Amino acid sequence: MDSRGVSPMIATIVLIAIVFAVAAILALSLASSPTPSPPFSGTLSLENVENGRNVIVIKHIYGERAPDVVDNVGPIKWKNLELRVNGVIVPATQIIEIVAEGMRYTPPTSWPNKVCSMVVGDRIRIQLTTALTIGDEVVLKWVPKNQAIVEAKVTY
């Protein structure tokens, strides 16, 4: 009798063990992966995007809550929302009023020391350093997904 090689029964058991180990590793990696954040599905609008205007208003007009749009813990900065004029980010320090979750804040006296979210009816007023002119492009972006929510071009 030739005793070289592995018995078929041992080979089958080893093969089944390898398959189970690979399946367990795959299941563990899929279960531990982070869930992707969905794109923002609410509706925001831009007002005053007109020639000669230097105040833009962002309004939440429909849909789900926009979480964490402005971070005012420390120096104020955009968090999940971002306003750009001609590709340049308008600093959040230019916000002159925010109505967040029904509460009205004006810097610096009543400015909250928190991260602000927006619900339907809320607004943010931003004072631009220079007035808009014909041809300027204004874009409101949802930062987590790099999603342009509103794009407007100054035409009149």
pTM comes to 0.73
Radius of gyration in angstroms for the set of CA atoms belonging to the chain, rounded to a whole number:
27
Nearest alpha carbon to residue 82 among 136, 142, 125, 129: 142
Scored b (16 or more CB within 10 A) or e, 8-17 reads eeeeeeeeee
Query: For the chain, how long is the longest CA-to-CA vector?
Result: 98
- The neighbouring-strand residues paired with 70 are 78, 116
Q: What is the pLDDT of residues 22-69, one digit of tens each?
A: 999 998 888 877 766 566 788 999 999 999 999 999 999 999 999 999
Q: Quick one: CATH architecture of 43-153? A: Sandwich (2.60)
Spatial distance between the Cα atoms of 96 and 9, rounded to a whole number of angstroms: 77
Domain boundaries, the chain: 43-153
Rounded mean pLDDT of 67-74? 86
Rounded mean pLDDT of 127-147? 93
